[in-house]
Structure 1
Amino acid sequence: MKRTILAACIGAASQAMAQAPDTRLEHVLVTVPIHKKAAETALPVTVLSGDELQRLASSTLGETLGDKPGISNSSFGPGVGRPVIRGQAGPRTVNLSNAIAAGDVSSLSPDHAVGIEPMLAETVEVLRGPSTLLYGGGAIGGVINTIDNRIPAKRIDGIQGAVEYRYDDAPEMNTGVLKLEGGAGDFAFHVSGTFRDFDDMSIPGLAIDEEAVEMQEELLGGHDEDHEGEEHDEEEFENSDGFIANSNGDSDVFNIGGSYHFGERDFIGFSYNSFETNYGIPPGAHEHGHEEEHEGEEHEGEEHGEEEEEEEIIRINLQQERYDTQLHMHDIVPGFIDVARAYLTYTDYEHVELEGTEIGTQFSRETYEGRMELVREGANHGVLGLQFKGDEFSAIGEEAYVPETDSVEWGGFYVQDFHAGDWQFEAGGRLDYVERDPATGLEEDFTSHSLSGSALYPINESLSLGVSLSRSERAPSTEELFSNLNNSEEELVTHAATGIIEIGDPNLDTEVSLNGDLSLTWQGEKSFAELTFFYNSLSDYIFLLNTGGEVDETPVYEYEQDDADFYGVEFESSFDLATLAGGNLALGIFGDMITGEFDSAGDVPRLPPMRVGSELSWRSDSLGAYVRVLNASDQDNPGDFETETEGYTRWDGGIDYNLQFSGGTELLAFLKLKNISDEEIRLSTSFLRNFAPQAGESVEAGLRLTF
């Protein structure tokens, strides 16, 4: 039935294409340096900016992007929301801040937050398929670049900025946003920041799906019923009704930067970023190993109960400091090197996992990253680039299952486009060298190469056909290689966020992706539609395999390799229907579907379900309103040892009013109604779906003053 609905939506959009205007409206891309507009590339790109970004911006990057076709949110309670692109997450999805990696440890574990603040973004660009070659062959899933102008790229005359406050009643979340920019002559500055605090998230019904949790334990190789009664008493898995316990938190983000402009488009700039957050992990989400529980049997009951209660209150306190330098120069050697860009970034990241008042595990990461691009403009664009990254990672504490590891990565790439009649072609290549040196002494190095090609053909002034192919190669990550390596059975450490023992393999090979995209894009004066089919065949795909063994009743998983295939379809559109009551009435139809299968290990786990949605909006010069519905199917192919997830239908709506003042000052008031029907929503992409559903019905309201 859902497939029929998706086909009907695509058919309706095809009819609308023939009737709508044909003038292109394009976004100027930043992340693809050899192109100026999205229409000039066949590479799959999703852009959030302007009013759309302002409406969708949320407290996490995953929630901000999670309803866009091909992108999902993998939440771990309200404090964490990581993007999933075409079913790929972790090290296969790279999060960038102003073209440089975020420098956090979000890819290491699903309970680790991404160190990027979406509320400060001016644009978010998502690259999928071959376009990721510009930022790393390992970004097999995709690249997300959040751009916030902390280093002003243009001269600014006078002072401009914005102040915003918003309140969301589901988590009782207060958010404040400040942005101030200015300049005089050749100097420009930028100051921005956010503060946020939130209480426990309100939800419909019980937080923990106890039936699903029991089923999950059975699938994982579960515990004997008698032992379950001893190990998991009611206090340890105490359920909450109407809210998610210990899901409160706060965050503070601060940016300051400046730039000196010494030519028409030339500048050098510096910036400093501070990112701090403290958030709770919902009860039952973390497993702390059974060794301590067995030891606890020797203590008095009261003392043991106190220890268990204290262990159950888990919080993460995260602090990150980042320093950026950028240099942009033009007309270096006109006709040969028209633009030269250089980036240099240092990031100092640390977070501690607090168990009550005790520090359980401390993670730290220092990264040094540099990037240089030499661009040739004109009829045939080209970019030659070099990228370097140094990484010092350590984890100390009772849950530190990955050894201290130093990594060095070098990458060189070249991308060129050229024209032949109406066709536009693009081809590129990348060579990467990765060296990982753990404290255990088993150094591993990998050399990989990636290739991409694309073709874009304009069928007519409004309709274009795009084809892109790529071969990408990814070196294994630190945790895939070295988790619990050289630990005896008694020393094996449980990964608390997943509740299993993960064992790495230093003999893993690189992972190779062969990806193809076929897209049909139509764009009119006020309307657009895009339909994309993709197929991604991965050789030596790295994943965790359940060995069937247990240590202290904790399942043991090992990193293994198997071939896997991912394929799916994405559709997004917006059609200008009519002029009504002085405003424009528009209808958007969107949807996506993805399937992932191993050659010998069944379905790929934690994939998003098929989704179909629609949005009806009306907007005049000062007033706007919308109503939106998203229907997600059951995820009944959850993968081995995973529980199924029920589908849902989510309704959202909103209204905003823009008041103009003299001198260019604007006041925007907005009201959002989210999950209007109070639907219980558990995301199949989330490790925490059986412990913490998404927010229930809520109202979000705010004011934004722009000057």
Structure 2
Amino acid sequence: MVRNYGIPPGVPGHADDTSGNPRTAQEAIRIDMSQRRYDLDGLWKTYWSLLPKIRAKLSYIDYDHKDYDKSITDRNSSLTQFKNSVWESRLEMNHQRGGWLDGIFGLQWQNRNFAATGIETFTPATNIDSLGFFLTETLFITDRLNLEMGARIEHQTTTPKSDQIKLAGISAPLPLPNSLNYLTYSLAASLNYEILPQTSAYLNWQLAQRAPDVQELFASGPHFATRSYEIGRINLNAEQTSHYELGLRFASEQVSFHANGYYKSIQDFIYLENQGFFFNFAPDPPRFQQTCANLRNCLPVFGYQANTANFWGYEAEITAYPRWGLPVNPRLTLFSDYVRGWFQNSNFGDVPRLPPLRFGGEIGFQWLQWRGGVRYTHALEQNRPGILDTETPGYHRLDLDLTYDWKMSEHKKILFFARLSNMTNSTIRNSTSFLRNFAPEAGFSAQIGMSASF
């Protein structure tokens, strides 16, 4: 998989800017991504009734991500290059007990080498090695009631490949630990009850821990893909999430419906907080400063923080399949979703970069191998952007898609597609994006393409 797309430049500076620094010209950042993945999967169907299947999987993923300055012509030079190579293996053993218990237990190992290098070093090269044991069980209590349970315990070692890191704008290097070790666990349970035929309700609970990622620990420089200067925090603890969810499902030939509401509390929730000052990379040497007259030369500084945060929200969707006696099968959909997040300590305000309330509808159809639809989305303004972040206005969006599925044989097919995105050419500032003040979402665009599988 290969992708290449651009990040627009910052807000235009003063017309009398004559610094002559090559980085002060109106420039654009391009992002070049590529990914290669190889999987080896094996399944052994045994003769044991208690252990009928054993599955093993080995994967290798090589991910490369480069931030380019438009003025750099040498494709071997980049502002920042992210490399992420991962070896992963997984062993699953399915076990059954009569008709009332079904589950899987197994091991998962992952070895990941991460590096962010280039003209600006973003994080030190780091190795992350983890080994986890997991167990999932489904208990069929009655024909209408079942209980799903899961547990996982994992040990992770994060080892930077250098003993110090140089923070741009600070003369003295910062020492790094030899390694960081985390032992995390997760527990989950889901109770599913069939209220009526085609109608079921469920109650989910989860207590999960997550070890900090490399960027959250060791970030130390400009990240041009998000137009920010990020600073990690070495002493972060593992996040711990308590999640509660109640939902309802209904499915028939004419109507399908799904709605759920949830509440979660996260201890040591890790997030990027706007620090209220800038990193100016135009001077030599670069420096931090409280204000910036020319935003083309400056990046807002964000630091990783950890505080207890609470969230609640909902998701709902209903789809009707009317039978109007036409050769075309129509589809009518209404949907909505919302999430509200705030920090337990009110001094920290609202959780930044959350989506606003959204709702909309879709009119679609299916006829033979043809599928298509027109989708309308309305998002309200986000007036709880978080401390020092900016509010975003609401927007209306209209999209159209059309596909033709040509099945050449049982295992060979070609999918032709056409898409019209943001047909009203609305200005959309995405409240979840670091780039919302510099670059809105793409305006009207058209895509025509095909994909083949065999």
One fold, TM greater than 0.5?
Answer: yes
Could you tell me how far apart the structure 2 residues matched to 1:360 and 1:668 are? 37
Distance in 2 separating the partners of 1:681 and 1:557: 23
With a CA cutoff of 8 Å and minimum separation of 6, indicate the structure with the bigger relative contact order: 1
Secondary structure of 1:579's aligned partner: coil
Partner in structure 2 of residue 308 of structure 1: 24
| Distance in 1 between residues matched to 2:236 and 2:306, nearest whole Å | 7
Cα pair 2:117 2:123 within 8 Å, conserved: no
**2:147 is aligned with 1:431:** no
From 194, 217, 222, the counterpart of 1:458: 194
| 3-state DSSP of counterpart to 1:459 | strand
Cα offset for 1:603? Answer: 1.0
1:584 match: 329
- Matches of residues 36-435 of structure 1 in structure 2 within 5 Å? 275-284=1-10, 301=18, 304=20, 306-309=22-25, 312-330=27-45, 332-355=46-69, 356-357=72-73, 358-377=77-96, 379=99, 380-421=101-142, 422-435=144-157
Mapped partners of 2:247, 2:388: distance in 1: 35
More strand per residue: 1 or 2?
Answer: 2
Give the match's secondary structure for 2:25.
helix
**Which residue of the partner structure matches residue 14 of structure 2?**
none
Deviation at 1:594, TM superposition (A): 0.7
Deviation at 1:630, TM superposition (A): 1.3
Structure 2 unaligned segments of length 5 or more: list them: 12-16, 164-175, 279-286, 290-298
User: What SS does the aligned partner of 1:541 have?
Assistant: strand
Q: Give me the whole-angstrom Cα distance separating, in 2, the residues matched to 1:362 and 1:547.
A: 25
Which residue matches 1:594?
A: 339
Query: Residues of 2 paired with 1:664 and 1:555: CA distance?
Result: 51
Q: Per-residue CA shift, 1:251-295, capped at 9, x if unaligned?
A: xxxxxxxxxxxxxxxxxxxxxxxx33333322129xxxxxxxxxx
d(CA) in 2 for partners of 1:657, 1:596: 41
Q: In 1, are the aligned partners of 2:274 and 2:389 still within 8 Å (CA)?
A: no
Shift of 1:666: 8.1
Please show how residues 307-706 of structure 1 align to structure 2 within 5 Å.
307-309=23-25, 312-330=27-45, 332-355=46-69, 356-357=72-73, 358-377=77-96, 379=99, 380-421=101-142, 422-438=144-160, 439-440=162-163, 441-442=176-177, 443-484=179-220, 493-548=221-276, 551-553=287-289, 556-600=301-345, 601-621=348-368, 625-654=372-401, 671-701=418-448
Q: Give, in angstroms, the shift of residue 375 of structure 1.
A: 0.9
Partners of 1:276 and 1:700 lie apart in 2 by 17
How far apart in 1 are the matches of 2:405 and 2:62?
40
SS at match of 1:552: strand
* Aligned residues with identical type, % of pairs: 34
Whether the 8 Å CA contact 2:67–2:224 is kept in 1: the answer is: no
Q: Say if 2:29 and 2:224, in contact at 8 Å, map to a contact too.
A: no
One-letter amino acid of the structure 2 residue matched with residue 352 of structure 1: K
Aligned residues: 410
Asked if structure 1 preserves the Cα contact closer than 8 Å seen for 2:80 and 2:223, the reply is no
CA separation of 1:307/1:344 partners in 2, compared to 1, >3 Å: closer, same or farther?
same
Does the CA-based 8 Å contact 2:154-2:183 persist in structure 1?
Answer: yes
Amino acid at match of 2:201: L
The one-letter amino acid of 2:24's match is E
Question: Are the equivalent residues in 2 in contact too, given 1:578–1:586 (CA < 8 A)?
Answer: no
The alpha-carbon distance between structure 1 residues 654 and 444, as it changes in their structure 2 partners (threshold 3 A), is: closer
Alignment deviations for residues 329-383 of structure 1 (CA, whole Å, 9 cap, x no partner): 11x2522211111111223333433332343333323221111111124622110
TM-score relative to the length of structure 2: 0.81
Residues 520, 682 of structure 1: alpha-carbon distance in 2 compared, 3 angstrom cutoff: same
Structure 1 pair 350/576, CA: closer, same or farther in 2 (3 Å)? closer
CA-based RMSD = 3.1
User: For 2:200 and 2:128, how far apart are their aligned partners in 1?
Assistant: 43
- How far 1:633 sits from its partner (Å)? 0.9
Q: State the AA in 2 paired with 1:326.
A: D
Aligned amino acid, residue 506 of structure 1: I
TM-score of the two chains, using structure 1 as the length reference: 0.53
Check 1:680–1:446 CA distance in 2 against 1; reply closer, same or farther (3 A cut): same
Which stretches in structure 1 are left out of the alignment for 5+ residues?
A: 1-274, 286-296, 485-492
| Offset at residue 328 of structure 1 (A) | 1.3
